[in-house]
């Protein structure tokens, strides 16, 4: 019987699919992310055939060496920067991800962060709860409206594209975008305008939303130098991966009023936050929950199960990300 280790609890629907196929499924009991040594110790307890890691589990040579029976790492996330892909490929280990329809949820969360920061919702909410509201005041919490603004989408894969569609059709926003490849669909359907560099996108936009994977080439894609090119009235939204933004540079830019605000779902050193970030009222922060809708999390679990089933039934897993 094939045995599968899922590092932490995921929705039951995926586990049920696997059990119905006759696989033996063990779910790690951790409530918070295990350290790599803890994970290795756990994995060594049995000759597992599959590991389902979460994005918080660092999977590299140390893990591959410790569990040589594992031939597929079916990551429970669309991003797979937690796994050393090159090393997995060298060892003929399959790696899969979960690029489902739930990308809509992530795109919606990016829209929510943008609206929340522009309307100063988090600040206003705290103000009301603190009992500070003394009556209507025309000058109170003046924010910005989204309609008519120019929004730059950095990375127009599935999530970036859906974000662009939502903004252009529902909010009267002009979309500009940068990606390493042009996206003719959003040019035609959303009137999106391609710009030739991240710097140009940052300089022209009233708000910038990042939708790139974390790669060596996207690490600190947003940094001190290009934050300096943004309009002082502009906003930055990040729902991709924290290290895409130099968080220290961002904190400084927000402290100095170099940009107006930021909505962040991901953090460079998560779960730790760069010093100064929590004190900033011109931010809206969420704990990496952009795809945390029941439908989305269940879809991810189903995709994980299907990738594993593909593998054991002799097909190339539908979401294999390495060669
Ligand atoms: C992903 O899938 O990569 C998200 O960041 C977590 O769901």
Ligand 1 nearest-atom number relative to CA 240: 5
Neighbours of 262 (CB within 10 A): 26
CB atoms within 10 A of CB 210: 24
- 256 Cα: distance to centroid of ligand 1 (angstroms): 31
Q: What is the pLDDT along the chain (323 residues), one digit of tens a residue?
A: 899 999 999 999 999 999 999 999 999 999 999 999 999 999 999 999 999 999 999 999 999 999 999 999 999 999 999 999 999 999 999 999 999 888 899 999 999 999 999 999 999 999 999 999 999 999 999 999 999 999 999 999 999 999 999 999 989 999 999 999 999 999 999 999 999 999 999 999 999 999 999 999 999 999 999 999 999 999 999 999 999 999 999 999 999 999 999 999 999 999 999 999 999 999 999 999 999 999 999 999 999 999 999 999 999 999 999 98
- Ligand 1: residues with CB < 6 A are 55, 77-79, 291
DSSP one-letter code for 151 = E
Please enumerate in sequence order all residues whose Cβ is within 8 A of that of 115, keeping only pairs 6 or more positions apart, or say none.
121, 146
Q: Is the dihedral of CA 217, 316, 289, 25 positive or negative?
A: negative
Q: How far is CA 311 from the centre of its chain?
A: 26
Among 124, 152, 122, residue whose Cα is nearest residue 137 = 124
Give 148 Cα–ligand 1 centroid separation in angstroms.
30
Which token pair is 285? 């922060």
Question: Which residues participate in catalysis according to the annotation?
Answer: 241, 270, 288
Residues ≥6 apart with Cβ < 8 Å to 132: none
Given ligand 1 and candidates 10, 33, 76, 77, which is best to mutate, with the most ligand atoms within 8 Å of its CB? Answer: 77
Distance 20 CA to ligand 1 centre (A): 26
Atom in ligand 1 nearest the alpha carbon of residue 97: 2
What is each CA distance from 29 to 5, 60, 98, in whole angstroms? 11, 22, 22
List of domains in the chain = 3-101+294-312 (3.40.50.720), 103-285 (3.40.50.720)
Helices (H) and strands (E) in the chain, counts: 12, 12
Q: Which ligand 1 atom sits nearest the alpha carbon of residue 77? A: 2
CA of 33 to the centre of ligand 1 (A): 15
The DSSP 8-state label assigned to residue 320 in this structure reads: B
Report how far Cα 201 is from the mean position of its chain's Cα atoms.
20
Residue 32 CB contacts under 8 Å (≥ 6 apart), including other chains: none
């Amino acid at each position: 019987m094939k045995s599968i280790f899922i590092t932490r609890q995921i929705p039951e629907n995926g586990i049920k699919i696997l059990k119905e196929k006759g696989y033996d499924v063990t779910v790690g009991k951790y409530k918070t992310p295990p350290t790599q040594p803890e994970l290795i110790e756990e994995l060594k307890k049995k000759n597992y055939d599959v590991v389902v890691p979460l994005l918080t589990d660092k999977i590299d040579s140390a893990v591959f060496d410790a569990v040589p029976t594992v031939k597929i790492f079916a990551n429970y996330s669309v991003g797979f920067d937690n796994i050393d892909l090159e090393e997995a490929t060298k060892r003929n280990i399959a790696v899969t991800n979960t690029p489902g329809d739930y990308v809509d949820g992530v795109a919606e969360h990016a829209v929510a962060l943008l609206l929340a920061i522009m309307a100063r919702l988090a600040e206003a909410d705290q103000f009301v709860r603190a009992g500070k509201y003394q009556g209507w005041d025309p000058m109170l919490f003046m924010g910005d409206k989204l309609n008519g603004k120019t929004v730059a989408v950095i990375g127009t894969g599935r999530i970036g594209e859906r974000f662009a569609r939502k903004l252009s059709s529902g909010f009267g926003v002009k979309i500009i975008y940068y990606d390493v490849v042009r996206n003719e669909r959003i040019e035609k359907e959303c009137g999106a305008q391609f710009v030739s560099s991240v710097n140009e996108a940052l300089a022209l936009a009233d708000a910038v939303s990042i939708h790139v994977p974390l790669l060596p080439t996207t690490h600190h894609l947003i940094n001190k130098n290009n934050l300096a090119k943004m309009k002082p009235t502009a906003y930055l939204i990040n729902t991709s991966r924290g290290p895409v933004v130099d968080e220290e540079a961002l904190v400084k830019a927000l402290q100095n009023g170099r940009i107006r605000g930021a909505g962040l779902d991901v953090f460079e050193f998560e779960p730790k936050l760069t010093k100064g970030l929590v004190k900033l009222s011109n931010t809206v922060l969420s704990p990496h929950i952009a795809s945390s809708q029941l439908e989305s999390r269940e879809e991810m679990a189903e995709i994980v199960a299907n990738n594993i089933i593909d593998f054991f039934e002799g097909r190339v897993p539908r979401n294999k990300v390495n060669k």
